Amino acid sequence: MKSQRKEIISYFKQMDRSFFMDSNKDLAVFDQALPIGFEQTISQPSLVLEMTLALDLHPEQKVLELGTGSGFQTALLAAFSESVYTIERIEELHARAKERLAQLNFQNIHFKLGDGSEGWKEFAPYDRIMVTAAAAEVPKELLEQLEIGGKMVIPVGSSFSQELRLIEKDDQGKIHTTLLNEVLFVPLKGKYEK
At residue 191, the pLDDT reads 66
At residue 192, the pLDDT reads 60
CA distances from 174 to 133, 135, 179, 180 (A): 24, 21, 17, 19
At residue 162, the pLDDT reads 92
- 46 is known as an active-site residue: no
Number of Cβ atoms within 10 Å of the Cβ of 169: 19
d(CA 120, CA 178): 24
CA distances from 18 to 13, 71, 91 (A): 13, 11, 21
d(CA 183, CA 164): 6
At residue 194, the pLDDT reads 56
At residue 7, the pLDDT reads 95
Helix %, strand %, coil % of the chain (to 5): 30, 30, 40
**Per annotation, catalytic residue among 10, 18, 43, 46:** 43
Mean pLDDT by 10 residues, the chain (194 residues): 85 95 91 86 91 95 96 97 96 96 97 92 97 91 96 91 94 95 81 61
**Encoded amino acid at 146, one letter:** L
d(CA 79, CA 58): 10
d(CA 151, CA 133): 17
At residue 160, the pLDDT reads 82
Provide the edge-to-edge strand list for the sheet that holds 146-157. Answer: 109-113, 83-88, 62-66, 126-131, 146-157, 162-169, 175-183
